[in-house]
Amino acid sequence: MSETTRRPTSETDVLVVRGGTPLQGTIRVRGAKNLVSKAMVASLLGDGVSRLYDVPEIRDVEVVRGLLELHGVRVSDGAEPGELVLDPANVESAHVDEINVHAGSSRIPILFCGPLLHRLGHAFIPDLGGCHIGPRPIDFHMHALRQFGAVVDKTPGGLHLTAPDGLRGTKLELPYPSVGATEQVLLTAVRAEGVTELRNAAVEPEIIDLICVLQKMGAIINVHTSRVIEIEGVPRLAGYAHRPIPDRIEAASWGAAALATGGQVEVVGARQADMTTFLNVFRSVGGAFEITDVAPPRDGHPGHEGGIRFWHPGGELRAVALETGVHPGFMTDWQQPLVVALTQARGLSIVHETVYEQRLGYTSALNTMGATIQTYRNCLGGTPCRFGRRNFHHSAVIAGPSKLYATDLVIPDLRAGFSHLIAALAAEGTSRVYGVDLINRGYEDFEAKLAALGAATERP
Ligand code: EPU
């Protein structure tokens, strides 16, 4: 059995999916997973209470909440559904054994370094988790922290950090515009002494939103052109109240699901500005969408939240060539759901994954279902990337259209898992999708949403 078809031991963590029914209906997305978790960490830096709205109930939020609580932050639910109130008045050291309960559960703990060093003078970071989509090193993070003056002791159990002389602003240039390393620098520099200049920074919308959170707290951050961010450290920060940007990965995933199943899904809360690159590709493939802008209540009209309606307009889908990349490029997390739709497009589609070196492994499961996808080590169809001429199958050619047939699937990681789910929904017959609980890490209430869209799924 291949990696993707081997069954995990838990027979309860399974979703039975009867495919072939177009998804039809309306769902809503809340705050972006990849902002919300970081904004929660930022609350550690403030002297006062922070309020974060529209927080989705997903596993990553639970992990960060648990870690914050271990460090003395009082986290409670606010009056509004999805509102979190974070009170850092009594930040304190946590016991290594208790922190280690969260080992391997998420990558967010690495972002606790700067805030804990500022608050406590020391930090312990457990082994990181997150999806297995490449080696995912933390060398940029470590280099940056050392430049700020942190002393890092790597032990087999985790990272011990201290800052014997405090943290001081510095000049840094990232070898690659890493999202996490940029966030690490922001969360450390805002309260470091002096000015920090970060070159080759990531500028994803989630990062700009984190900058908005930090600015609300009192930080001074300038985003210059050409990926340069300059941060003037301040001695104190206050709490914040923030409504995060919507989850553009989840929104695109449902859009791709609508296209792959020949259906129609309205994603309330989705925002065009953060998704223009996805929408261009969606249109090139032959998908249709309509954008509704937010309308505030006025003159007796109740107003509406706005969103994006995605649908398959009928006829054949068209093959495309695309390359994933840092913002404003096509997000690596949009790739897997869209590839399922590309199996239904006529011709040869090319996908060049340039962010993670091992993010195409999931395609072998799609081939088991009837897709024709070949992966290559070469940089196909675009500019050469840092993975070219190395032993990474990071380009794919998808020949379509291919009829998909049900099979038993094992979810390998979050985004690939959602793409497996889409494939099962698009396929003829009944699939059993194992390890489906992993999807709860990043997709709130996805089973209820599937039901609302008319999908025929059940827990055995
Ligand atoms: N990299 C290094 N060294 C480092 C850090 C990164 O070599 O110290 C490399 C990585 O190995 C990767 C590239 O830089 O090849 C980009 O990694 P990045 O640091 O940008 O990713 P991340 O911060 O770990 C976040 C999201 C990912 C998303 C990427 C890219 C969170 C929690 N995760 O990861 O989201 O794919 O940025 O946009 O924000 C997901 O939501 O499923 C997910 C994987």
Ligand 1 atom closest to Cα of 176?
A: 14
Q: Does ligand 1 lie within 6 Å of residue 386's CB atom? A: no
Beta carbons within 10 angstroms of residue 173's beta carbon: 11
Q: Does ligand 1 lie within 6 Å of residue 353's CB atom? A: no
Nearest CA to ligand 1 atom 10: 136
Ligand 1 atom closest to Cα of 357?
A: 15
pLDDT number for residue 5? 43
Nearest CA to ligand 1 atom 18: 178
pLDDT at 4 over 60: no
Q: Does ligand 1 lie within 6 Å of residue 199's CB atom? A: no
Q: Which of 131, 212, 379, 385 is catalytic?
A: 131
In this structure, which amino acid lies at residue 210?
A: L
Phi, psi of 21 (to 5 degrees): -105, 120
Q: DSSP letter string over 261-299? A: HT-EEEEET--GGG-HHHHHHHHHHT-EEEEE--B--BT
257 closest CA partner among 153, 143, 339? 339
Long-range contacts (CB closer than 8 Å, 24 or more residues apart) made by 159-165: 159/113, 159/123, 159/124, 159/125, 160/122, 160/123, 160/124, 161/113, 161/116, 161/117, 161/122, 161/123, 161/124, 161/125, 162/117, 162/121, 162/122, 163/117, 163/121, 163/122
pLDDT at 137 over 50: yes
pLDDT at 271 over 90: yes
379 noted as active-site residue: no
Ligand 1 atom closest to Cα of 179?
A: 20
d(CA 15, CA 10): 12
Q: How confident is the model at residue 17 (pLDDT cuts 50, 70, 90)?
A: very high
Q: Does ligand 1 lie within 6 Å of residue 289's CB atom? A: no
pLDDT at 3 over 50: no
Q: Give Cα 307 distance to the centre of its chain.
A: 19
Element (H, E) at 165: none
pLDDT number for residue 1? 35
Burial classification of residue 456, based on how many CB atoms lie within 10 Å of its CB (0-12 exposed, 13-18 middle, 19 or more buried): middle
pLDDT number for residue 207? 98
Q: Give the distance (Å) from ligand 1 centre to CA of residue 452.
A: 32
Nearest CA to ligand 1 atom 5: 138
Q: Does ligand 1 lie within 6 Å of residue 336's CB atom? A: no
Nearest CA to ligand 1 atom 32: 34
pLDDT at 27 over 60: yes
Q: Give the distance (Å) from ligand 1 centre to CA of residue 358.
A: 12
Q: Give Cα 164 distance to the centre of its chain.
A: 34
Ligand 1, residues 29, 36, 107, 178: which to mutate, most atoms within 8 A of Cβ? 178
Q: Give the distance (Å) from ligand 1 centre to CA of residue 191.
A: 24
In this structure, which amino acid lies at residue 72?
A: G
d(CA 197, CA 203): 14
Nearest CA to ligand 1 atom 40: 333
Q: Give the distance (Å) from ligand 1 centre to CA of residue 302.
A: 40
pLDDT at 459 over 80: yes
Nearest CA to ligand 1 atom 22: 180
d(CA 409, CA 14): 9
pLDDT number for residue 136? 81
Q: What is the pLDDT of residues 304-359, one digit of tens each?
A: 889 999 999 999 999 999 999 999 999 999 999 999 999 999 999 999 999 999 99
Residues in the chain: 460
Q: Does ligand 1 lie within 6 Å of residue 414's CB atom? A: yes
